Amino acid sequence: MAKDTIKLGSRSARPKRKLAVRRETLSIGSLVRQFSSSPTLGWAILIVAVFSLGSASVSWWASDQPMHAVGDIARKTVLARVAVQITDEEATNRAREQARLRQPRVYVPDEALIAEIITSLEHLPGAVASTSTVDELDVELRKAFAIGTDAYAALKSYADADGNPSEAWSSRLASLRRQLERRPILDAETYRRESESLGKQIQLAFTSSRRSVLSTGVINGGDKERLAKAASEMAQQAGIPESLVQVVVAKIMSAGGPTFRFDRRASVELQEAAARQIKPVVNDLPAGAVIFRRGEPVTNAQLAMYRSEAKRFRELGPSDTIFFNRLATVLASLVIAVGAAGYAGLYSKRIRRNPQRMLGVALLMFGAQAATVYATASAPGIRGVTVMAPTIFVTVILVIAYDPRVALALGVLTGVLVCWSVGEPIPVLAALLAGVGTAAWQLHEIRDRRTLIRAGFVIGAALAGGMAVSDMVGRPLAQPVPWNRVLFDAITASAGGVLVMGITLFILPTIEHLFQITTGMTLIELRDPKQRLLRELQQRAPGTYNHSLNVASIAETAADAIGADALLTYVGALYHDIGKMNKPEYFVENQAGGPSKHDKLSPAMSLLVIVGHVKDGLEMAREFGLPRRLLPFIEGHHGTTLVEYFFDRAKKQAQQSADEAHASEEPDEVEYRYPGPKPQTREVAILMIADAVESATRSMGEPTASRIESLVHAIAKKRLEDGQFDECGLTLKDLHTIEESVAKSVTAIYHGRIAYPVAATAPA
């Protein structure tokens, strides 16, 4: 920037300056030269190459996934590229299930219960033999076995002279045991399940053998009437006399439980063995056959066909076709990667100059693609979330970490990459880009949590509307609008937008830490006077605190006037002089009259104290964890300006020593300058002007508007000619606007006041 040949506010200088800036920005040749000579070029090429291969790998995997759920409407017609035999999983599973149902269920006998029934019947003749009439029998015994006169006589005939059961009675009971072991009595629930089985036989698993019997022979123990009838039949088949049948029935009815129980483990083993014997049902799919037909619902069988065909094509497809297909995928990923790298290199120095930031952006884009592909393949029914949310999340992160322009461009490229990977049509891409644009628009500055919450609902509304339109546009015209699906996709897309903002709100501090940024929300928290560092400044250096408040107000207005970051400027101005807390009494704004501390110090020592507040401020800022964006305000608000007061004082002392014939070296101007750096941003340059003007105005006797304007112009011109604005991108037009704003603000603070007459005091 010229120091003396260009006059501030010159009309002829402005077009030249704009033209120079435009040429510097838009010259492709200069940008290519910058990139080719950049030390980060090698990293950029490596990251682009790795990203392209990784992205292509994800796309290859995605191409083998149908990206549809059962019941979805197919978005395009898909044909088989090779002939393939496809296992019909549904038919196979049905056949195996039928085989399981046809297998006999296994039952285990309750041998103790059967033995107890037979034993109790076997002892009856002996119990009867010791009596003369039926009335002499125990009442409980008569009731338990329903023994009447005829039964009593029959039982007595089956007892020998010693009162033991006869061989004939034992033979008939052995036959009854065989009947009980052949016809299982089951509980009601087990009987119900058995009746639902397709098997015609059951297996009775005894200790030493298994026996298959017809399932029609099982007895429902829960149905008393049928149980009594079955017990009567078994007694008759065992040769029990008619007069004793009711005795046997009574005992079986009162036995208290089923004679057989279901053996689940053995039954499952039989069923699974039968299912394994069923071979898979295979269907032939010729090349060119339709797998999905656009506009028709997708079935589970079609999904299986798609996966099988994709796998078969990888195995048997023409190698040259597969190679060129994969090469095209890599090249497509490379185009997107180069586009992202080129745009970031053109419009974001922070990314272009930092390989870690390049890698971070690449990982964000790759992560969005991988998350979208995996989530959509796993849950294609909620693609409103799986397709939309990852890209919106990347856009939100980038707009917070960088700026809306970079976020919008990289968000668009991420959206293209994502939709291409999962095969989404252009209407869905348009809906996604609507959400990307809304996110970049809504989040240009985050000053409070309400901004994120409001943005979440606005983004959700944009995604919902876009998704609804894409569903209606993407359907075949001859089919009715699937309103249920349209509404569901719109709701899930909207939920995805709100979910992203909820996650962002939760991890915002982590984002600020990882990307080394400071959001407006954090800055607003830092401008609170109750912040610990500001409270200490108020207590230890009240004059400096009031000076900082005035400078912050002046600088904020000026920053707003030229379109700079007014909030950042204000907060930076609040903290720019915190280093003065270490030695507040050495700074004039904190001196309450009386002799100055510097009167007893040499100019060189005073210089160390004055300049030291910059170093002390940086140490305090790091100790208290102030954001890195505030550090340039502390170290650069004086730039490399000259500490004129003590430099002049040193020169006078040197001259005085020379006049007194004492050897004295002339002070070097470089030694009396602040170490810098010069302002690197417009915001720090504004602070430099506001700080100098506010300090100088306080020493004016009569701060009139014209005198303040002259002072502001003189200070700005002096800083300009000293080269302090050479590295911050400040234009002459900006400087002129800053002058006007600062002069207006300072005049409002230090305006002149009317001197009111003081009434004379009457003599006493």
Contacts of 742 (CB under 8 A, 6+ apart): 554, 557, 558, 689, 690, 693, 712
The predicted structure's pLDDT at residue 14: 40
Over range 11-39, report the average pLDDT: 50
> Distances from the Cα of 219 to the Cαs of 104, 248, 348, 552, 614, in angstroms?
16, 16, 85, 96, 99
What confidence tens digit (pLDDT) does each residue in 56-69 have?
999 988 887 887 77
Question: Hey, what CATH topology would domain 523-749 get?
Answer: Hypothetical protein af1432 (1.10.3210)
Q: What is the mean pLDDT of the chain?
A: 84
Least confident stretch, 146-160, 163-177, 498-512, 555-569: 146-160
Query: In angstroms, how far is CA 608 from the centroid of its own chain?
Result: 51
Q: How far apart are CA 460 and CA 398, in angstroms?
A: 18
CA 146 to chain centre: 77
Of residues 530, 535, 528, the one with CA closest to residue 552: 528
User: Rg of the chain's alpha carbons, rounded to an integer?
Assistant: 47
Rounded Cα gap, residues 313 and 620, in angstroms: 66
- For residue 713, the model assigns a pLDDT of 94
In this prediction, residue 587 carries a pLDDT of 84
Phi then psi dihedrals of residue 211, to 5 deg:
-135, 130
Q: What pLDDT, on a 0 to 100 scale, did the predictor assign at position 6?
A: 38
DSSP per-residue letters across 524-573: HHHT-TTSHHHHHHHHH-HHHHHHHHHHHHHHHHHHHHHTS-HHHHHHHH
The Cα 12–Cα 2 span in angstroms is: 14
pLDDT for the residue numbered 681: 93
- Measure the CA–CA gap between 191 and 212, rounded to whole angstroms: 17
The pLDDT of residue 18 is above 60: no
On whether the CB atoms of residues 561 and 737 are closer than 8 A, the answer is: yes
For strand 105-109 and strand 260-262, is the pairing parallel, antiparallel, or unpaired? antiparallel
* CA separation for the pair 568, 22 (Å, rounded): 27
445: nearest Cα among 399, 502, 409: 399
| Domains in the chain: boundaries | 78-88+281-317, 98-274, 320-517, 523-749
What pLDDT score does 352 carry? Answer: 85
Closest Cα partner for 405 from 366, 441, 375? 441
Mean per-residue pLDDT for 333-342?
A: 92
Which residues does residue 283 pair with via DSSP β-bridges, in sequence order?
Answer: 86
- What are the residues facing 256 on neighbouring strands? none
Q: How far apart are CA 398 and CA 415, in angstroms?
A: 14
Tokens of 287: 């090349």
For residue 28, pLDDT over 60 is answered with: no
Between CA 577 and CA 616 the distance in angstroms is: 9
* Neighbouring-strand partners of residue 717: none
In this prediction, residues 320-338 reach a mean pLDDT of 89
Residue 206 buriedness (CB in 10 A; 0-12 / 13-18 / 19+): exposed
Residue 447 pLDDT class (50, 70, 90 cuts): confident
Torsion over CA of 31, 34, 38 and 42, rounded to 10 degrees? 40
Confidence band of 34 (pLDDT split at 50, 70, 90): low
Asked if the peptide bond before residue 677 counts as cis, ω within 30 degrees of 0, the response is yes
3-state secondary structure of 753: coil
State the pLDDT at residue 164.
82
- Please check the confidence at residue 410 and state whether its pLDDT lies above 90: yes
- The token pair that represents 615 in the structure block: 């170093």
CA torsion sign for 309, 310, 313, 314 is negative
d(CA 78, CA 67): 12
| Measured CA angle at 130 (ends 126, 131), to 5 deg | 120
* Bridge-based pairing state of the strands 185-186 and 219-220: parallel
Rounded distance between C-alpha atoms, residue 433 and residue 392, angstroms: 9
- Measured distance between the N- and C-terminal CA atoms of the chain, rounded to whole angstroms: 70
> What is the rounded CA–CA span in Å between residue 684 and residue 710?
22
Once rounded to an integer, what is the mean pLDDT over residues 543-553?
93
- As a whole number of angstroms, the distance between CA 26 and CA 453 comes to 38
510 by DSSP, 3-state: which?
helix
Q: How confident is the model at residue 80 (pLDDT cuts 50, 70, 90)?
A: confident
- CB 638, CB 599: distance < 8 Å: no
Residues β-bridged to residue 573: none
What is the per-residue pLDDT across 653-686, written as a single tens digit (0 to 9) for each? 777 766 555 555 677 888 889 998 999 999 999 9
Token pair 């390049």: residue: 358
Contact assessment for residue 249 and residue 231, using Cβ atoms and an 8 Å cutoff? yes
Say if CB 633 and CB 687 are below 8 A apart: yes
Task: Let me know: does 455 contact 442? Beta carbons within 8 Å.
Answer: yes
Report the sign of the C-alpha dihedral through residues 441, 443, 448, 453, in that order: positive
pLDDT, tens only, 227-266 = 888 888 888 888 888 888 888 888 888 887 898 998 889 8
Q: What is the pLDDT of residues 130-163, one digit of tens each?
A: 787 887 777 778 777 888 888 888 888 888 767 7
Spell out the residues 6+ positions from residue 662 whose beta carbon is closer than 8 angstroms to its own: none
pLDDT for residue 576: 93
- Cα separation, 220 vs 236, whole angstroms: 19
Whether the per-residue pLDDT at 38 is higher than 50: the answer is: yes
- Backbone torsion region of residue 146, taken as left when φ is above 0, otherwise alpha when ψ lies between -120 and 50, otherwise beta: left
